[in-house]
Amino acid sequence: MALGNGHIDFAGYVVSFTRPGRPRMPNGIECDLELRRGEPVLAGRGHLRARGIKVCAGLEWNPRPGPVGVAVEPPAPTPDVAGLAGRGPGLTPEGDDLLAGFAAGLTLLHGRSRDAAELAEAAAARTNSLSATLLRHAARGELPEAAHAYLERGSDKELLAWGHSSGRLLLHGLQLAGARSAVRQARR
């Protein structure tokens, strides 16, 4: 069922629609289809169908960035999941965005995917279905396209401009996990 704002909930897993040319999502499909809250959506056999429109698979995109543009430091202590998960304003609460960044950093920077998955599952139980979906993707190292510029090139510009506060909090979580822009490190 369509949640509105470009998201569809399939029994707790949320698929995000992004318009062509906009930053892609790890749980997303790039298309122009706009759905109103509550509209039915069918999925199967490699496509989605809504409003009589068939959306088929397009070009693949790897949502897992290579963290080659950042210096890696040891992570900070794990943030308080109970105090952050589901907390704060936004379609994805701010606490969830920070936790997603930290979980992704554990996996991508330190190979600690089991710790990241445990953190994501604990947080997912305390938040909405969209955030839960994104937390689980983050634990696998899969992030919105805006985070790729930071991890691959050390540029935080795209991430800071993404969403109302999501990019800023995702960046903070990545930094807590030990990601430091190599560009900024060189300037010190």
**What count of Cα atoms within 13 Å lies in the side-chain half-sphere of residue 159?**
25
For residue 149, name the pLDDT band (cuts at 50, 70, 90). very high
Mean local confidence (pLDDT), 32-40: 85
For the chain, where are the E strands, in sequence order? 2-4, 7-10, 13-18, 28-30, 42-44, 47-50, 53-56, 70-72, 179-181
**pLDDT tens track for 56-115:** 877 788 999 999 999 999 999 999 999 999 999 988 999 999 999 999 999 999 999 999
